[in-house]
Amino acid sequence: MQKTFSLKAWPKEFMAAVAVAAVVSVAFTVAASLFDRFHQVSAEDLRTAETSAVAIGNKSQVLSFNDWGVSLTVPLGADMPQVWYTAQGSDSFGLSTTYVEKKSGAACSAGHNAVGVIVRSAAGSPLSSTESQIATSLGTIGGYTYTYETPDSTCAATDAAEAANHEAMVIEGNGELNSL
């Protein structure tokens, strides 16, 4: 005797579970698709936030953090090429330079903090240095402390590492914070 199975022979509870699973699967696929579209827009927005410092004369450049109401002036010259910066959330900006990015590409971009990062925190917050990353206070303006943190080996495996580390030292020793 050969048994045959048909959908009519399955219990109603099992059919209900299959229907619920199908609905959940479709809902999950739609939600993931919408999230992916949102994620792509966010990445594009971050890309447009990449900005270059503005040269002032032939010896200085200014990075303007308009949302924060502050600017940072750093040297411009053979020891310090033009700085690029990009927002990384509401309280940090990654840094790189035209030389480092040209030499090593995306691995040493501002989005990867190739030449360090500027961090904003509530005034009085402790600096967070590690063995491989040094934090230097740039000053306090309007209830916030602004800190420069040296690169944490983003470009360590590239030939731009030496340049990135040198440029980080220039920023650390010569950065001047001002209100906009």
| Cα–Cα distance measured from residue 112 to residue 98, given in angstroms and rounded to the nearest whole number | 14
Q: What per-residue confidence (pLDDT) applies to 136?
A: 85
Q: CA 118, 158, 39 angle in degrees (round to 5)?
A: 55
Closest CA to 165 of 105, 106, 86, 99: 99
Q: Tell me which residues of the chain have a pLDDT lower than 70.
A: 1-15, 17-18, 26-49, 129-132, 153-160
The pTM score is 0.66
DSSP H helices, 8-160, are 12-48, 98-104
Q: What's the pLDDT score for residue 23?
A: 75
Tell me: the pLDDT tens digits for 46-87? 444 578 899 998 799 999 999 899 999 998 887 788 898 999
